[in-house]
Structure 1
């Protein structure tokens, strides 16, 4: 990214920092930007000003936003400030993005937009304005005071601009936490000036200080540039035991004390206002002072405390703003808030917050106004702002029942937003009240929603069934089913035991009597994957032909299909859920659907599809703070690597997934890890290790045990057992599994059993059993068909039927080569060689040449999607997509999308054979 231009000089002692920003603004860089951190007054804003000046000279378009503490409770207030100069481009955005951004910014009414859809809209808008001749510099100062919705969007953008002519510079106060810290920005920590430089700065600012005062200021300023400039103006240096920020606030407030009364009033109003409007500050001041106030702010300008530009009040430093508010008497602050509320008749949200700030004690009228403000914020996608409004409304509520209701609603939103800290505080606050039994149960259940109860005491799972029935009895059927679904999900991640499963299933039968209800199908699959397998599979097959379009329903059905071993249906349903979640910007549930799709596709052998899907699932799960889904996606990536013969990568990925799985107690993650290790050991000829690794999945005492998944690795376990000389042990396993096949038509279970029977059969029975296995319906299961051909060919060669063996071995080799299952392909080659037939080397295909991310983009481009459409699907700007395609074409030796489609289609045709 070339920005060109020059970078200014002139800051005392900041050569290294200036150089770092110069490299970002002046020269080519593949970095998203920089996060400048440091104490208040250390010079973060001065460095930003240098960067902005240089960027302007270089021809960059600069968009800025500055966080203001008073605006934290107003969703997307910061984003509105940032994008206001380019608002004309909003109408040109793709429809869903345009509508989401307009709702978020309060320019239109509509459904609550997801923060990620708003983020994609902002990214597209910035990319559209970042033409080659005029790149964009996004500057976000005091990010710790930006509203959470705007910070989330800013972090989303920062994570995705590495290939854009867009760069982000943000500032954050030291020791503050913010989502921007995980957005891929490099960090520039700005500390105090060295002693000699601090002395130079002080002498330049205050050359006439006495030696004693000079020494005292140098000592107490501790190298802080703002302190070096401000402390000398105080009559006395404040108490050195105070934190530096408080010393500075004292210095600022001392300068305010000498101003006229009207000026102090106007400054206080401006400091407390959620806007920088001069007109609002003066109008409120007139109400308080009862006099003309047009000139009230001028003395503050003359004193260098504020600036007035374009109708806005700009405090010289954020600490000045907080100092003015902190130094005021409580009665003066209340009067200022009431005056602001009175003039804000057309802005109900700001009016409500100002009225709330003026309340002493409780006030149900104001509480109700905040309640309404919370609903407006929620509809705009400002969930954290809605939580804050509900929390404040609860504290102002006259009645305990209303207070409890508001706290629990706020906690529910906090869970939805992934804010565990907020949710815990709100739940604990609610639990201190006199709650109804249902409220108390709901409060106790809420916190487990962060991770599907993975970390929850497993003995509490049956309690959710009781809670669901209680909620249903109170007339809240939908809420009851959601609780029941949460209980069923826990039975995937943890193992509560057969009694708990039966109890929950009884509740499900009462709450969801219709067997074809998608929710009943999904719940039954999780609770009783074998006992209810026939009913579940019948329901899934009917629903597969119904054209269901609700992504949430399709996600439930995909998860249900995985439980009962219908991996082809699991992949189909979860793939159907993905577009809807993308369109809605629901990145919280999107990685769940992607993980199920990747897991199922991998088990079916469709690695070409699984590779990019698993990679995206891992990326989004990490981004949205879902460690157990991240672990599952990483485990799938490990399994793919093992199937491709990349054992080093498989080991690294499996180890990473295992760390996550063990920390969370997530059984499916650990089961997939053990499956990966078993596959790798098999292909390396470590058969005893393979059998030991795979056996763990079947051991109820092992953390890798998972009730449903244990039945779907019989093929690998049987191969390991036969080669390790453990056939008797394996026959014992089959005796346990055979009864399950009687009660359920699970495709994966029956495929595995047919394969295992053939491998363990005597010489007299093996041929017929292999033939039966090949006659079974394996459409959509190419890896399993290849596995049977390979094993049959190996058996025929051992029976000295060499010519017959070659046909099966050749088919196996071609199948595994097409699927990218390198380890299995090499095994088929070795067997063919022993059968007297050589094999051509496998040519690398797109699967080998491209990264998972590139493969995803290439596949979408081959389907005919435009760059903009691909960007909408993958939450990238169209420019980033174009950059990736420019890299993809030469890797594959193609020069057009038509060539790309032909190349990928040819590989896909091979995979399907």
Structure 2
């Protein structure tokens, strides 16, 4: 179609021209979507030529259906001309990108390059090129790119806009991809109008007989490719005219038949070359001719392509054969018999020496029966794909291996491994089906244990199932007896997590812990501490905290261990310990490109920061957690990030944002039925009620966490909820109910030394005490260590001052009220600041403002968005733009653009002034 005028596409050309012409100033992505033959390729070609004439570097690629099984084949195709720049990337990025292309030695097991590190390397590679001249990626038939390449393009598309880098993709209708969730700008191509179609037809076939012209227009239905191809097909093959024009046959099929009709008169050796080329995933001329020679049994020369090129089916140069349209490829395959297609793949497998993965896929396509030897090769292909950071391709190889394999013992292992990969990719339904098939075939203890573990990944609806909990314990004991304590510990981790979600009773929780403590693992093993913290968060709280303190002093744990320790600390109320572990984990996970785990870690860090109202680190963590949870498609953790956002917004007084965030979190939680998130939502709703001065509403929300009959009931989050409940308990009835649950919590938490829990219980005792006991209760509560939780201490001082004032001890009341007011001011917690001001006015304090907000020393940095604050904080430590970009998975030019906006907001002109501006007294 590129040889013909683009009729009826004026609006589309304007949009494409704007993208290309705007590249020197800003980047962007545009998807051209439509039916086969509608003109997507022609528009992409037009844009590419316009870009090249404007001095833009154009990188082109095209998806091929057979290439979806080759990891990063599309990415290599797009970036192959820039590989000489790879050594200029940071070493970890260069290693990841070259590893993805199989250009380095395979990494050790468990050290596969992370997809997001590969994506960041690609972004930086393109960004460096764009610094010299704008860059435009042009990808045709993107729906057929391999999944890892599509994921990389999605990563880049999210980050376009701040540098001269553009992306133009053509996607066929009816083919969903991961790009669909990005809401990219889209051009949807519609059929040409009757007038436009007639003008195109008259250009292609001037003087066409009226009856045939009418027949073509009617059959083409405004499809440009049909208008070009059908006239000749109808003239040359009148016998098949009915099939070519029948409305009962889809237009795509009619076009395939039109192309197939051209094949009938071609020489046999030409048809052999076309069949091999259509079956191939590369199109290299020498490779195709060699395989065609095997298929035909005689040597075939390049001249055999001439008849096909003359009638416009293919183009070829000294390196490669290309079909003029994807429908030509499918027409060639449709015209061949099954036996011929199998033989073509067999011929390709025969000539692909030294290309193990491609040879294996063609061997698999060439067999029409089960073949264990091919299945074993596919297992190796899957392992190589996983080692290169392409789990989706590894899963596809295993699925084909399962279909072809004959050995029952190997079949169980394949099914379990496939289920693990499916779960890693978020395909829970597929993982569940694979586990169901694997269970009867799991021949040994490790296989059965892995099957049970995979089931934990999607079995969230039965989190309260006692039989499931018993199965985990039993399976762990079997794994331990079989000599695999690490596998046993992973099972007990899952069991402990269930105990935390829903208390199954002391006996079962002790069974979990006892089984873990019997294992021959060090007592500081992160997974062991996780089990103790989640199964017995209160009973063994003191033990866990003592071990946390030893780990903090000794160090030496890696990012994954730190993430486990942070989760454990959060579960048992050790927020002061959790913050250190989680920050260490976040730094390591960033460096490794584990953005899925990083999102989870940032959500936990956001909760801890929100509890202590640490805005400087907490607000950026919340914003990044939301962004990464969305990007990694982790709905449960996105919900957690939204809850943390609502919590922060409530205590800072932004009630509209808090309400919007908590409503969105609740919608998602109801769909996921996650018990801990339901409880956190009610606690946060209680904080929103308190901030708004609606105490009865706040009490009703938080009470749900304490009600065993309520879905939001959570036995261990009650220690987080109790201060909110106590502050909300205003009526005599509510205060009596709160005292009742406080007594139960006192008994349950008697053994823990967690400072947060002790402070929360002390706070609740002080607020709920009778007048005759209140003095002593306030003194006891204020004597506790609040060093890591100034917000709770300030609320306690506010309550104490208010109690003193009501007791007519006005002069005494002013001191705690003043301290509380200043603390709320420094924290920025506006609702409680205003309450403290009101109490001071009531206590006769002069000079208390009637309105206004907390006057924080952080006024300058409060002008920044959370992401700008995060970038400013990192820049203030001396990191370069590139180093900041590596940490936040942004291009360094995006970082520079953020800093360009940050400086005037802070009233500074250079990087060196950032540190001073971000100091509390700056």
Fold agreement, TM-score > 0.5: yes
* SS, match of residue 549 in structure 1: coil
Aligned to 1:118: 118
Match of 1:320 in 2: 328
Q: Residues of 2 paired with 1:13 and 1:54: CA distance?
A: 19
1:707 corresponds to: 715
Deviations, residues 24-68 of structure 1 (Å, cap 9, x unaligned)? 222378673111111111111111112112111222111122111
Q: Give the alignment of 1:4-83 within 5 angstroms.
A: 10-27=5-22, 32-83=28-79
Match of 1:728 in 2: 736
Cα distance, 1:82 vs structure 2: 0.8
**CA contact 1:533–1:746 (8 Å) conserved in 2:** yes
Contact 2:285–2:318 at 8 Å: present in 1 too?
Answer: no
2:813 paired residue number: 805
The structure-2 alpha-carbon separation of the partners of 1:8 and 1:571, relative to structure 1 and needing over 3 Å to count, comes to farther
CA deviations 1:819-843 (Å, max 9, x no partner) are 2212222222222233323346534
Shift of 1:501: 3.5
The aligned counterpart of 1:4 is none
CA deviation string 1:182-228 (max 9, x = no partner): 23421221121122222222222123433333222222222111111
Partner of 1:223, secondary structure, is: coil
Other-structure match for 1:697: 705
1:99 maps to what in 2? Answer: 95
Native 8 Å contact 2:884 2:895 kept in 1: yes
- Report Cα offsets for 1:709-743 as digits up to 9, x if no partner: 11122222111114676322222122111112322
Alpha-carbon distance between aligned partners in 2 of 1:847 and 1:794, rounded to the nearest angstrom:
33
1:487 corresponding residue in structure 2: 495
2:861 equivalent to 1:852: no
Pick from 895, 915, 919: which aligns with 1:901?
915
- 1:419 is displaced (CA, Å) by 2.9
Q: Look up the SS of the partner of 2:304 in the other structure.
A: coil
1:824-903 aligned at under 5 Å gives the runs 824-835=832-843, 836-839=845-848, 842-843=854-855, 845-846=859-860, 848-903=862-917
Aligned residues: 900
Matches within 5 A, 1:559-598: 559-598=567-606
Unaligned segments of structure 2, at least 5 residues: none
Number of the residue aligned with 1:3: none
Name 2:401's counterpart in structure 1: 393
DSSP-derived class of the 1:167 partner: strand
Residue pair 1:76, 1:150 contacting (<8 A) in 2 also: yes
Alpha-carbon distance in 2 for matches of 1:128, 1:493: 48
> Is the alpha carbon distance of 1:731 and 1:843 closer, same or farther for their aligned partners in structure 2, counting shifts above 3 Å?
closer
Q: Hey, what does 1:554 align to over in structure 2?
A: 562
CA contact (8 A) 2:682 2:704 kept: yes
Provide the residue aligned with 2:634 in structure 1. Answer: 626
**1:510-529 to 2 correspondence within 5 Å?**
510-511=518-519, 515-529=523-537
Please, which moves more after superposition, 46-55 or 436-445?
Answer: 436-445
The change in CA–CA distance for 1:190 and 1:809 in structure 2 (over 3 A counts) is same
Please report how far the alpha carbon of residue 149 of structure 1 lies from its aligned counterpart in structure 2 after TM superposition: 0.7
SS of the residue corresponding to residue 908 of structure 2 reads coil
CA 1:516 to 1:560, structure 2 compared with 1: closer, same or farther past 3 Å? same
Please report how far the alpha carbon of residue 434 of structure 1 lies from its aligned counterpart in structure 2 after TM superposition.
Answer: 8.1
Distance in 1, matches of 2:567 and 2:12, equals 51
1:614 aligned residue: 622
Distance 1:9 1:769, change over 3 A: farther
Matching residue of 1:643: 651
SS state at 2:750 partner: helix
Q: Which residue number corresponds to residue 185 of structure 1?
A: 184
- What SS class does the counterpart of residue 906 from structure 1 fall into? coil
Contact kept in structure 2, 1:114 and 1:586, CA below 8 Å? yes
Other-structure match for 1:374: 382
Deviations 1:76-125 (A, max 9, x none): 11111111111121111112111111101111123311111101111111
Task: Give, in whole Å, the separation in 2 of the partners of 1:37 and 1:898.
Answer: 48
Whole-angstrom distance in 1 between the partners of 2:158 and 2:5: 32
Mapped to 1, the partners of 2:369 and 2:673 lie a distance apart of: 45
CA offsets 1:342-379 (integer angstroms, 9 cap, x no match): 22111111111111111121222222222111111111
Matched, 1:256 2:263: yes
> Using the alignment, how far apart are the partners of 1:455 and 1:35 within structure 2?
41
Tell me by how many angstroms 1:506 deviates: 4.2
Query: 1: distance between equivalents of 2:518 and 2:907?
Result: 60
8 A contact 1:32–1:184 mirrored in 2: no
2:26–2:165: 8 Å Cα contact kept in structure 1? no
| Cα 1:257–1:426 shift into 2, 3 Å | farther
Please state how far the C-alpha of 1:610 moved relative to its aligned partner.
Answer: 1.0
Checking the alignment, whether the CA contact within 8 Å between 1:494 and 1:665 is kept in structure 2 is no
8 Å Cα contact 1:461/1:490 also seen in 2: yes
Deviations 1:763-799 (A, max 9, x none): 4543343233233222222212222222222233333
Preserved contact between residue 438 and residue 467 of structure 1 (Cα < 8 Å): no
Tell me the TM-score normalized by structure 1.
0.94
Aligned to 1:202: 201
In 2, the alpha carbon distance for the partners of 1:843 and 1:299 equals 82
**Higher alpha-carbon deviation: 648-657 or 23-32:** 23-32
Range moving further from structure 2, 620-629 or 898-907: 898-907
Pairwise CA distance, 1:590: 1.0
Q: C-alpha distance in 2, partners of 1:491/1:846?
A: 45
Q: Could you tell me which residue of structure 1 aligns to residue 290 of structure 2? A: 283
> Which residue in the other structure is 1:347 paired with?
355
1:246 corresponds to which of 240, 250, 253: 253
Task: Report the alpha carbon displacement of residue 178 of structure 1 after superposing the two structures with TM.
Answer: 0.5
1:227-242 equivalences in 2 (<5 Å)? 227-234=226-233, 235=237, 236-237=240-241, 238=243, 239-242=246-249
SS of 1:163's partner is coil
- Greater mean alpha carbon deviation, residues 877-886 or residues 482-491: 482-491
For residues 32 and 479 of structure 1, the distance between their equivalents in structure 2, rounded to whole angstroms, comes to 47
1:309/1:499 Cα in 2 relative to 1: closer, same or farther (>3 Å)?
farther
- Cα distance in structure 2, aligned partners of 1:299 and 1:225: 24
State the SS of the aligned residue for 1:743: coil
Q: Work out the CA distance in 1 between the residues paired with 2:184 and 2:288.
A: 37
Say if 2:463 and 2:502, in contact at 8 Å, map to a contact too: no
- Displacement of 1:578 after TM fit? 0.7
Q: Is the 8 A contact 2:26 2:164 kept in 1?
A: no
Query: 1 CA distance for matches of 2:669 and 2:824?
Result: 30
**Change in 2 beyond 3 A, CA 1:831/1:524:** same
Using structure 2 for the length normalisation, give the TM-score: 0.93
Which region of structure 1 is more displaced relative to structure 2, 380-389 or 415-424?
415-424
Which residue number corresponds to residue 141 of structure 1? 140
Match of 1:411 in 2: 419
Q: Cα distance 1:675–1:572, how it changes in 2: closer, same or farther (>3 A)?
A: same
Question: Quick one: which of 765, 768, 775 aligns to 2:783?
Answer: 775
| Secondary structure, counterpart of 1:161 in structure 2 | coil
Q: Report the secondary structure of 1:37's partner residue.
A: strand
> Is the counterpart of residue 268 in structure 1 residue 263 in structure 2?
no
Change (3 A) 1:618 1:342: same
SS of residue in 2 equivalent to 1:106: coil
Superposed CA offset, 1:153-208 (max 9, x none): 11111111122211111111111111111234212211211222222222221234
**Offset from partner CA, 1:856-909 (integer Å, 9 cap, x none):** 1121112221111111111100000111111111112222223221111125x9
Output the CA distance in 1 between the equivalents of 2:433 and 2:216. Answer: 42
Instruction: Confirm or deny: 8 A CA contact 1:608 1:820 kept in the other structure.
Output: no
Secondary structure of the equivalent of 2:389?
Answer: coil
CA distances 1:353-406 after superposition (whole Å, capped 9, x unpaired): 111111121222222222111111111111111111122222222212212221
